[in-house]
């Protein structure tokens, strides 16, 4: 999947400690650090409330961002404490602002009313292996085949957000943007609000920036002639990515970050992260480019 050994170990720990329990329970996921004062103030509240709600299927999982930097990066944690509610492997709510017991309990009560915690609802078909297969095929660069796999999965499990997200990204990768747009437009609000689907919509959004070959060459020339013109660099990077030139887009954005990472409130980095979301965080290109970005940001 393009991960190094340490990253794979981090994913395995996260799967064991968070994803697997979340298949039948509501996992309150707390991103924290030893040096974080607000984290220390929040911890007793989380432990107390989650303990009281344990018999209702609520468990607490803690992620030390210093020890699990890779996992924190996948969730784009920018400040701590950050707290999510996880169910069946997906974030279902941001609990970060629930700093008091009453606020946290109110949000948990609402979630527990909506979710089939403990398998109370009839379980749908287990399509996780097929979703993983589609993701691997997509990561290997075969958008058409991946689209076929995800189409079948979505038909088998119409409420499976990962299947719909994969289908949108696969259609985009296959150049079938209009079909991806039509599929996205047909999703109900619950699916459209899922984090995985939102990431797929990022791919669809970026694909919409595609220009014809002549315009792409004009943008390429402008970026080459005016290396200090950040607007010209950004315009070319966006068009290059939409045209499938991922390396050119990444090199341009990384160059912008080296020059001035704070330009336009960090727009170059934000755009690069959006591209990671669009192709999938475990895509080999995204993994390699994230490493380059980390080198620039952290030396």
What's the pLDDT at 190?
84
Long-range (24+ apart) CB contacts under 8 A made by 167-171 are: 168/197, 168/200, 168/201, 168/203, 168/204, 169/138, 169/199, 169/200, 169/203, 169/278, 169/279, 169/280, 170/134, 170/138, 170/143, 170/144, 170/146, 171/143, 171/147
What's the pLDDT at 257?
96
Burial 93-125 (b: 16+ CB within 10 A, else e): bebbebeeeeebeebbeebbeebebeeeeeeee
Question: CA-CA distance, 60 to 58, in Å (whole number)?
Answer: 7
Question: CA-CA distance, 58 to 45, in Å (whole number)?
Answer: 14
**Look-up of token digits 């957000």:** 161
What's the pLDDT at 1?
41
Largest CA distance in the chain: 65
What's the pLDDT at 172?
85
Q: Which residues form the catalytic set?
A: 36, 39
Q: pTM of this prediction?
A: 0.49
Structural tokens at position 169: 């990204």
Q: Where are the alpha helices (DSSP H) in 186-245?
A: 189-192, 195-207, 213-225, 230-242
Distance linking the first and last C-alpha atoms of the chain = 25
Q: Tens of pLDDT along the chain (299 residues)? A: 446 788 778 888 888 899 888 888 999 999 999 999 999 899 999 999 999 999 999 999 999 999 999 898 888 888 999 999 999 888 888 998 887 899 999 999 999 988 887 644 444 456 777 888 888 888 888 889 889 889 988 888 888 899 999 999 889 888 888 899 999 999 988 888 888 888 888 878 888 767 889 999 999 999 999 999 999 999 999 999 988 899 999 999 999 999 999 999 999 999 998 888 777 777 789 889 999 999 998 86
């Amino acid at each position: 999947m393009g991960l190094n050994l340490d990253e794979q170990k981090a994913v395995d720990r996260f799967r064991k400690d968070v994803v697997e329990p979340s298949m039948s329970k509501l996992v309150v996921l707390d991103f924290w650090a030893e040096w974080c004062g607000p984290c220390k103030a929040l911890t007793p509240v989380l432990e107390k409330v989650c303990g009281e709600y344990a018999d209702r299927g609520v468990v607490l999982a803690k992620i030390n961002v210093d020890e699990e930097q890779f996992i924190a990066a996948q969730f784009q944690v920018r400040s701590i404490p950050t707290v999510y509610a996880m169910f069946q492997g997906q974030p279902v709510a941001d609990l970060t602002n629930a700093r008091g017991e009453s606020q946290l309990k109110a949000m948990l009560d609402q979630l527990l009313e909506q979710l089939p915690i403990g398998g109370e609802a009839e379980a749908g078909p287990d399509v996780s292996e097929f979703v993983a297969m589609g993701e691997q095929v997509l990561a290997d660069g075969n958008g058409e085949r991946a689209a076929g796999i995800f189409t079948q999965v979505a038909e088998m499990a119409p409420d499976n957000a990962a299947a719909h997200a994969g289908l949108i990204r696969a259609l985009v990768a296959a150049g079938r943007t209009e079909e991806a747009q039509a599929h996205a437009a047909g999703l109900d609000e619950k699916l459209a609000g899922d984090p995985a689907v939102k990431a797929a919509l990022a791919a669809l959004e970026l694909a919409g920036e595609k220009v014809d070959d002549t315009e792409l060459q004009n943008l390429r020339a402008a970026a080459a002639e005016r290396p200090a013109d950040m607007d010209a660099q950004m315009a070319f990077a966006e068009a290059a990515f939409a045209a499938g030139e991922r390396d050119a887009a990444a090199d341009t954005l990384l160059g912008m970050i080296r020059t001035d990472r704070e330009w336009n409130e960090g727009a170059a980095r934000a755009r690069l992260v959006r591209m990671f979301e669009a192709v999938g965080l475990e895509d080999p290109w995204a993994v390699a480019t994230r490493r380059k970005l980390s080198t620039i940001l952290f030396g």
